Amino acid sequence: MAELLDRLQRAELPAAAQAFRAEVKDFIAREMPPLGADVRARSWMGFDAAFSRKLAARGWVGVTLPKAYGGAELDAFRRFVLVEELLAVGAPVAAHWIADRQSGPLINKFGSEAQKQSYLPRICRAEVFFCIGMSEPNSGSDLASIGTRAVRTERGWVLNGRKIWTTNADKCDYSIALVRTSGLPADRQAGLSQFIVDLRLPGVTVRPIVDLSGDAHFSEMFFDDVLLAGDALIGQEGQGWQQVNAELAFERSGPERLYSSVVLVDAWIRWMRRNGQIEQHAETLGRLLAHLATLRQMSIAVTAKLAAGESPLVEAALVKELGTTYEQEIPSIVEAALGASPGQPADPELLRAAAYLSHMAPTFSLRGGTREILRGMIARGLGLR
């Protein structure tokens, strides 16, 4: 364990990133519409294309992409600040989220020049939105067992199979799908490749999945003899496993793995101040904030590794596992505190936010890799497997 923790050396946000924070706060104050806590709790699941385009007009979509393709070419630290400020206020960022965090950087790193010219400028203008095609029925986060297959033909590739738990696929234009191009699921990591799939192509069916809260953030995607052009392949055939692991380091390490329930904590604090209950719950509140401060420091340490060009898979898995556990605990802690004062009616907005997050919290440890998968990665990082 000591060796793994040594790889998470304390890091500070550079002065330029701290100065950038003021710009972001000013933008949010001007552009963030007044929303209730229960709506803000949806945050990076909240799809608002108009808000994403406002961010894009400011230059804050595709923030790490090169200026030559329309990006802001900001470093990982300033992206951390931008993400942290947006999530802290519950900004609806889901429309551009996947493309900004993963799809754009993946295309920039592994894509052809034609792919970069085609997709990256439109991502940076928030004109096109991406989703991730990884999980499959009966496979979950065990990506190595993927069965969706693309077969090369004279006209390109023919795609058949099914993906599930795809965030906002019904609202997106493209999916970057991890599929098998050779071998069998028993071959595990070998024979996997990534494709850019236009979700309007014939043979593509997307069905939203309604969750317990009544929202439909996730979807199933069905591919029935979908003909993909030859240039839909991204990177090298058979290198999908290596490419997707580099991509997942971006997904698992960011502030979105810490801030999903923080809007509820803010609403609870405001309610306690109005009702003179801060002292009664000071110990609980202090523990929550100390926990957040520690996790945030760990996330900054991973960001420093990304900024240095490293691919900190194990460190990111550790932050994601601890971060989602924290996010999951908040709704039950706040609800228990509210229940301890049954004679003090709670604010309806606070109750709606608590109810929404209670419904959604079980999914926090599924997205971006299940708890079991991440703990397996951490165990390997510690030399225990």
Can you count the helices (H) and strands (E) in the chain?
14, 8
Separation CA 296–CA 99 (nearest Å): 23
Contacts (Cβ under 8 Å, ≥6 apart) of 62: 56, 69, 70, 71, 72, 99, 100, 104, 120, 123, 124
pLDDT of residue 138: 78
Contacts (Cβ under 8 Å, ≥6 apart) of 142: 373
Mean of pLDDT over the chain: 90
pLDDT of residue 177: 95
Higher-confidence position of 287 and 382: 287
Separation CA 262–CA 293 (nearest Å): 12
Separation CA 132–CA 134 (nearest Å): 6
pLDDT of residue 315: 87
Here the tokens at position 265 are 């904590």
Mean pLDDT for the stretch of residues 130-134? 93
Separation CA 381–CA 385 (nearest Å): 8
Is the pLDDT at 244 greater than 90? The verdict is no
How far apart, in Å, do the first and last CA atoms of the chain sit? Answer: 14
Is the pLDDT at 127 greater than 80? The verdict is yes
Q: Which of 35, 29, 64 is nearest to 48 (CA)?
A: 35
Higher-confidence position of 301 and 211: 301
Mean pLDDT for the stretch of residues 74-92? 92
Separation CA 222–CA 203 (nearest Å): 8
pLDDT of residue 376: 87
The region of weakest confidence among 212-221, 260-269, 308-317 is 308-317
Q: Could you tell me which residues are beta bridge partners of residue 178?
A: 194
Residue type, 148: T
Strand bridging mode 130-133 / 156-167: unpaired
Alpha-helical (H) ranges within 232-370 are 240-253, 262-275, 282-307, 313-339, 348-360
Is the pLDDT at 101 greater than 80? The verdict is yes
Write down the residue that tokens 């996330």 correspond to: 299
pLDDT of residue 251: 65
User: 32: which DSSP letter?
Assistant: P
pLDDT of residue 71: 95
Local confidence band at 250 (pLDDT 50, 70, 90 cut-offs): low
Q: Could you tell me which residues are beta bridge partners of residue 86?
A: none
Residue 70 parent element (H or E)? none
Residue type, 290: A
Sign of CA dihedral 207, 211, 217, 220: negative
Cβ(385)–Cβ(8) below 8 Å: no
Write down the residue that tokens 């809007």 correspond to: 263
Separation CA 115–CA 258 (nearest Å): 33
Local confidence band at 325 (pLDDT 50, 70, 90 cut-offs): very high
Task: Sketch out the chain's domains with CATH numbers.
Answer: 7-128 (1.10.540.10), 132-238 (2.40.110.10), 251-382 (1.20.140.10)
Is the pLDDT at 141 greater than 70? The verdict is no
What is the per-residue pLDDT across 12-48, written as a single tens digit (0 to 9) for each?
899 999 999 999 999 999 998 788 899 999 887 889 9
pLDDT of residue 179: 95
Is the pLDDT at 189 greater than 90? The verdict is no
pLDDT of residue 1: 61
Mean pLDDT for the stretch of residues 245-270? 80
Is the pLDDT at 263 greater than 80? The verdict is yes
Is the pLDDT at 252 greater than 80? The verdict is no
Is the pLDDT at 56 greater than 90? The verdict is yes
pLDDT of residue 30: 93
Cβ(241)–Cβ(183) below 8 Å: no
